[in-house]
Amino acid sequence: MPKSALRQQLNLSEAVEDYLKAIYQLHEAAQRAGETSARVTTTALAGALGVAPGSVTGMIKKLADDGLVNHRPYYGVDLTATGERLALEIVRHHRLLELYLTLVVGFGWDEVHEQADALEHAISEEFEDRIDSILGGPTVDPHGDPIPSKEGLLPEMVALPLSQCAPDAARALVIARVLTQATDLLRYLAGLGLVPGARIVLLGREPFDGPLHVRVVGDDDTPHAISFQVASLLSIAAPDPDTPH
Amino acid sequence: MPKSALRQQLNLSEAVEDYLKAIYQLHEAAQRAGETSARVTTTALAGALGVAPGSVTGMIKKLADDGLVNHRPYYGVDLTATGERLALEIVRHHRLLELYLTLVVGFGWDEVHEQADALEHAISEEFEDRIDSILGGPTVDPHGDPIPSKEGLLPEMVALPLSQCAPDAARALVIARVLTQATDLLRYLAGLGLVPGARIVLLGREPFDGPLHVRVVGDDDTPHAISFQVASLLSIAAPDPDTPH
DNA sequence: AAGCAGATTTTGGCATACCTCAATAGTAAC
DNA sequence: GTTACTATTGAGGTATGCCAAAATCTGCTT
Ligand SMILES: [Mn+2]
Ligand SMILES: [Mn+2]
Ligand SMILES: [Mn+2]
Ligand SMILES: [Mn+2]
């Protein structure tokens, strides 16, 4: 049996692929936010996809008929095993493409999201495999988002938002992931050196969810103040034993 | 004014792009075959696109309304200046992608046509520009098909089918272009070394449109016999002054 | 505890973009 | 002019979308 027979033979429409991906990502975001057993809501989907709620209900019914989601009317949807498998394939395409477009084609990390959104539906499984091997089997994309394996497994990431870290001038924290796709925000962060892999020191923080003071290690060492909001989008990797005090 | 404003703002559907490209290519093929002022026929389009003739009539009417083709009912279509400009953009995407997929990604010349057919609709103008510059502003694709410029101009190629060349054991001919996309045929030709840029000697030919005997210069010099049919798909470049007798 | 108000979801009617098939209309060649 | 193609038309299908009305849920007020 060939590689990803599933996607090939099911021949999903672009719309279906987008719905599955959006359901997956909304579910993931809810989990990250601590919601337990998060079903995805019709309005959330409508918002994410830029369509009317009525359109979502219609599509959800088709997805449920096709066995890709479980739908409890008025309570939201849930991916089935098959649905999640397919969603992860699209996510894999998207993230491999983002990395390829930055590393090989030379785009900035703020330019690749929209392009990957279009290309993720158009690349062949063979192209996917080539990208993967050209990049050496990468596990994260330019924003630090984990890339699902060909088999549909996600590297488990243990990470905490910077906004929840305690100041410690003696310990460097490593940015693992940046949870936004907004072009201007990405450019702002890159300007400060706040990108995945960067080591930063959390110098202090103002009370009442006020700004955080950070210094980027290896930079010109100027401290920067960033908003609580922005800090909550920066995922800090689990404490790095290689960098003690 | 930015680069290719046209395609961006018109936001053509994939179907429309495919129709325009097919009309352009059928027109081109007819011209190559010597037909004068060739309008493209409904059945020809239906055949090329794999749809029913009735579907073609319907789409043609929309394209005519949008000013992309001229339609003389019962006589066929013709691209308008705008339509041809757009068709050339799609062709440019297609051929740049084919070359990129072979040269950079490592696919064989027999594997890239279908992939380019899907990707040509999905790449951004920026990606197009990057591919062009990564490849150094190429003028022909892996099959020797000319790549339209960003401005929509085609390098004029003077070429003659090998099937119409006179044998001349003392003169090397250069293959400029291979006029097929059939996977198995492309593999056969590559196996014989009959690819664009190859120098060959036409040793002789059997009468009644029979096989042609050719030798590939720099090969193991074994002569090969190829059918008249296949020879008619090989375009020979205008006589090369660098390679006398 | 019941019920009401507001928000959310679904439904039903309709639109657009393509597509097919079969019937009709037009063209061209003998 | 009849005939054999070829093209167009018309009826109807699927996929997706929107809008507005009806249904349902939920939390707040009493
Ligand atoms: Mn998408
Ligand atoms: Mn990403
Ligand atoms: Mn295409
Ligand atoms: Mn080609």
- B127: helix, strand or coil: helix
B106-116 per-position pLDDT tens digit: 999 999 999 99
CATH at A17: 1.10.10.10
CB A47 within 8 A of CB A65: no
pLDDT, tens digit (0-9, with 9 covering 90-100), for B9-27: 788 999 999 999 999 999 9
pLDDT, residue B221, reads 80
Asked if strand C contacts A45 at the CB level, meaning under 7 A, the answer is no
Which of residues 185 through 244 in chain A touch B, CB cutoff 8 A?
none
Shared domain for B78 and B64, answered yes or no, is: yes
Structure confidence by residue, pLDDT tens digits, B27-48: 999 988 888 777 999 999 999 9
Question: Span B180-198, mean pLDDT?
Answer: 96
**Which positions ≥6 away from B103 have C-beta within 8 Å?**
B135, B142
B126 in reach of chain A (CB within 8 A)? yes
Query: Residue B173 above 50 pLDDT?
Result: yes
Domain boundary among B156, B189, B208: B156
pLDDT of residue A3: 39
**B185 and B152, same structural domain?**
no
Q: Do A122 and B121 touch (CB under 8 A)?
A: yes
Low-confidence ranges of chain A (pLDDT < 70): 1-5, 8, 239-245
B5: pLDDT confidence band, cut at 50, 70 and 90? low
User: Do A152 and A165 fall into the same domain?
Assistant: no
Residue among A28, A32, A60, A64 nearest A45 (CA): A60
Q: Is the pLDDT of residue B245 over 70?
A: no
Q: What is the pLDDT of residues A87-129, one digit of tens each?
A: 999 999 999 999 999 999 999 999 999 999 999 999 999 999 9
Residue B243 placed within a domain: no
Whether residues B115 and A126 touch (CB distance < 8 A) is answered with yes
Q: Which of B156, B178, B203 is the last residue of a domain?
A: B156
Indicate whether A243 belongs to any domain.
Answer: no
Shortest alpha-carbon distance between residue B65 and chain A (Å):
28
Residues B52 and B126 in one domain: yes
The verdict on B115 and B205 lying in the same domain is: no
Q: Is residue A241 part of a domain?
A: no
Among the partner-chain residues B111, B119, B130, the one whose CB lies closest to the CB of A105 is B130
Q: Are residues B59 and B31 in the same domain?
A: yes
Same domain membership, residue B14 and residue B91: yes
B184 and B91 in a single domain? The answer is: no
Q: What is the pLDDT of residue B2?
A: 43
- Ligand 2 centroid to residue B50 C-alpha, Å: 37
The answer to whether residue B138 is domain-embedded is yes
Residue B146 counted as domain residue:
yes
Please answer yes or no on whether A130 and B107 come within 8 Å at the CB atom: yes
CA distance B41 to chain A (A): 30
In terms of domains, do A1 and A100 share one?
yes
Tokens of A145: 């988002």
A chain contacts of residue B104, beta-carbon cutoff 8 Å: 104
Q: Which residues of A120-134 are buried (b: 16+ CB within 10 A; e: fewer)?
A: bbbbbbebbebbbeb
CATH number at residue B184: 2.30.30.90
In a domain, A244, yes or no: no
Using the CB atom, is residue A74 less than 7 Å from strand C? yes
Same domain, residue pair A39 and A115: yes
**Nearest-angstrom CA–CA distance, A7 and A2:** 11
End of a domain among B156, B191, B208?
B156
Query: Cβ of residue B62 near strand D, that is under 7 Å?
Result: no
Residues of chain B with pLDDT > 90, as a percent, come to 85
Instruction: For residues A225 and A135, state if they share a domain.
Output: no
- Considering chain B, what is the average pLDDT of its residues? 93
**Per-residue confidence (pLDDT) for residue B28, from 0 to 100:** 93
Helices within chain A (DSSP H only): 5-10, 14-32, 42-49, 53-65, 81-103, 112-119, 125-134, 183-192, 228-231
Residue A1: per-residue pLDDT: 38
B152 in a structural domain: yes
Same-domain check for residues B183 and B136: no
Quote the number of domains for chain B: 2
Paired tokens of A227: 């908003």
- The domain in which residue B73 lies consists of 1-156
CA distance A5 to A165: 44
Report the Cα B201 to chain-centroid distance in Å: 24
Q: Count of CB atoms within 10 A of residue A35's CB?
A: 11
Q: Write down the pLDDT at residue B3.
A: 40
Output the distance from A158 CA to D1 C1' rounded to whole Å.
Answer: 86
Maximum C-alpha span of chain B: 58
How many Cβ pairs closer than 8 A exist between chain A and B? 43
Q: What is the DSSP letter of A197?
A: T
What is the tens place of the pLDDT at every residue in B80-126?
A: 999 999 999 999 999 999 999 999 999 999 999 999 999 999 999 99
pLDDT at B135: 98
Q: Is residue B245 part of a domain?
A: no
